[in-house]
Amino acid sequence: MEPILLKADAFAGARLDAFLAEAAEGVSRAAAARLIESGAVLVDGRRAAKSLRLTGAETVALTLPEPEPADAAPQDIPLDVVYEDADVIVVNKPAGLVVHPAPGHPDGTLVNALLHHCAGSLSGVGGALRPGIVHRIDRDTSGLIVAAKNDAAHRALAAQLKDHTLARTYECIVVGSPRGESGTVDAPIARDPRDRKRMAVVAGGRGAVTHWEVVARYPGHAHLRCRLETGRTHQIRVHMAHIGHPILGDTVYGAKKPVPGLTGQCLHAVALRFLHPRTGEAVELSCPLPEEFTAMLKKLSR
């Protein structure tokens, strides 16, 4: 593939791998590090270390590998399809379903279900184990997730994810009752230095912004609607815990004991808005709260 030329003028002082994760569509920081180490990244025509600090005057040439064929196997797993056409498919994912194969979850994932449903017609940009996957939601979070059926759609949606044209709205139940009717959490997120399996608010982490508003209040709890301005790993869960109101049922960032009646944390991706990658028209979708969520609201109201 032809190299992509990226100007570093707005990233003076940034590491090379961090710059690529921000400036290149659909490239994570881990993927950026692999590309740098493989020689697919040149800074002013020369190979460089991923830790190189940019001055802002450089031109970075990135050569992306050809998309890999999907290696995950199709499996006949029921899907709640909310929207589908020749370019994209949007699914209401249930809590407990892993998005893509990974260590400990080799199959039985959303990817396996999509490969069966779409007869293998998914983009290859995400790699062999993540065909079609543009963004992820946690295993124990439910709700809307969009996948791409071809590479052009994937790249267009990834660009919208980066510039926030692709908008995602969640609803959750939190422990305690936040002050005020709405607010914004603007706090950087990175790996927790004390526990690499968790994320945390860390100075110098990647910028993360979550807007929230109160839908309803209950004794000891509140029902919130959250809008993501960025999409960091576990962002809403980390931000809600950071302001002292962890999500009900979140055993990683809240109470360690599971909540009876909940599969995981009470967090649901309720709405999604994006520009169609082929037509440019706005697509706005929503789905109802899952049964566990509504049952918990009824319980709290009593």
Q: What is the pLDDT of residues 201-260, one digit of tens each?
A: 999 888 999 999 999 999 999 999 999 998 898 999 999 999 999 999 999 999 988 899
pTM: 0.77
Distance in angstroms (rounded) separating the CA atoms of residues 57 and 12: 8
Using the structure block, give the residue that is written with the tokens 């797993």.
Answer: 77
pLDDT per position as a tens digit, 165-203:
999 999 999 999 999 999 999 999 998 888 878 899 999
Positive or negative torsion for Cα 119, 116, 111, 133: positive
- In this structure, of 59-68, 86-95, 237-246, 256-265, the range with the lowest mean pLDDT score is 59-68
Summarize the confidence of residues 275-293 as an average pLDDT. 97
The conformation of residue 3, written as its DSSP 8-state character, comes to: P
Question: Does the pLDDT of residue 262 top 70, yes or no?
Answer: yes
Whether 195 is catalytic is no
Inter-residue contact 221 to 175 (CB < 8 Å): yes
**Active-site residue, selected from the candidate residues 138, 140, 186, 195:** 138
Distance in angstroms (rounded) separating the CA atoms of residues 9 and 63: 20
Percent of the chain with pLDDT over 70: 95
Residue 26 confidence (pLDDT): 64
Residue 129 confidence (pLDDT): 63
Burial 71-99 (b: 16+ CB within 10 A, else e): ebebeebebeebeeeebbbbbbbbbebbb
Domains of the chain: 4-62 (3.10.290.10), 169-269+292-301 (3.30.2350.10)
